Structure 1
Amino acid sequence: MTWLCIMEQWQVLNSRSSRHVRTSQTPQTIHHWVRALAMKAFFAPALAVLGQWTHLSSAQSYPFTAEQERNANRTLSVGYVVYHGYTILDVFGPVQFLSALSWPFNITLSIIAKETGPVHSRPPVHHGPNGSEMDMSKMIDAQIIATHTFETAPPLDVIIVTGGVGDLTLMEKKDRSIEDFIASRFDKIEYILSVCSGSGFLARAGILDGRRATATKSVWSHITRGGKNVTWVPSARWVQDGKIWTSSGVTAGMDMMVAFLRHIYGDPVVNNSVNNAEYAPHVDPSWDPFSIVHKVPGANTSIPMQSLVGPLTEYPESSP
Structure 2
Amino acid sequence: MKTFCRSLHGLALGTLLIAGQLVTVQGQTEAQKANANRTLSVGYILFPGFEPLDVFGPLEMIFSMSYYMNMTLATIAETVGPVSARPPLHYMAPNEPPMDLSYMINPQVVATHTFETAPKLDILLVPGGTGNVALEQKNDTKVEDFVRERYPELEYLLSVCTGAITLARSGVLEGRRATSNKGAWAQTATHGKNVTWVPSARWVVDGNVWTSSGVAAGMDMAYAFLRELYGDSPLNTLMSNVEYAPHTDASWDPFSVVHNVPGANKTRSLVDCVGPAGFTE
TM-score by length of 2: 0.91
- Structure 2 residue aligned with 1:249, among 193, 205, 214? 214
| C-alpha distance in 2 between matches for 1:122 and 1:105 | 32
Partner of 1:264: 229
Comparing 168-177 with 127-136, which one deviates more in the overlay? 127-136
1:54 offset after TM fit, Å? 4.4
1:172 offset after TM fit, Å? 1.1
- Structure 1 residue aligned with 2:263, among 287, 291, 298? 298
Contact 2:179 2:199 in 1 (8 A): yes
1:312 offset after TM fit, Å? 1.3
| C-alpha distance in 1 between matches for 2:70 and 2:235 | 14
Contact 1:68 1:265 in 2 (8 A): yes
> 1:214-225 residue pairs with structure 2 within 5 A?
214-225=179-190
- Structure 2 residue aligned with 1:107, among 63, 71, 77? 71
Contact 2:10 2:233 in 1 (8 A): no
Partner of 1:15: none
> 1:231-242 residue pairs with structure 2 within 5 A?
231-242=196-207
1:55 paired with 2:45, answer no
Which amino acid counterpart does residue 207 of structure 2 have in structure 1? G
The SS at the match of 2:183 is coil
1:147 paired with 2:112, answer yes
The SS at the match of 1:196 is coil
| C-alpha distance in 2 between matches for 1:129 and 1:282 | 35
- Structure 2 residue aligned with 1:207, among 156, 165, 172? 172
TM-score by length of 1: 0.80
1:132 paired with 2:132, answer no
Partner of 2:34: 70
Change (3 A) 1:73 1:305: same
Change (3 A) 1:61 1:69: closer
> 1:41-52 residue pairs with structure 2 within 5 A?
none
1:79 paired with 2:36, answer no
- Structure 2 residue aligned with 1:311, among 263, 276, 279? 276
Higher CA-based Rg: 1
1:88 paired with 2:52, answer yes
Return 5+ residue gaps in structure 1 as ranges.
Answer: 1-51
Q: How many residues align?
A: 264
Contact 1:275 1:312 in 2 (8 A): yes
1:53 offset after TM fit, Å? 6.8
Which amino acid counterpart does residue 146 of structure 2 have in structure 1? F
| C-alpha distance in 2 between matches for 1:212 and 1:151 | 29
| C-alpha distance in 1 between matches for 2:112 and 2:10 | 31
Partner of 2:61: 97
Q: Per residue, is there more helix in 1 or in 2? A: 1
Change (3 A) 1:177 1:278: same
1:111 offset after TM fit, Å? 0.4
- Structure 1 residue aligned with 2:162, among 193, 197, 201? 197
1:161 paired with 2:126, answer yes
| C-alpha distance in 1 between matches for 2:241 and 2:25 | 22
Higher relative contact order (Cα pairs below 8 Å, separated by 6+ residues): 2
Contact 1:56 1:269 in 2 (8 A): no
The SS at the match of 2:148 is helix
| % identical aligned pairs | 52
Change (3 A) 1:264 1:162: same
The SS at the match of 1:225 is coil
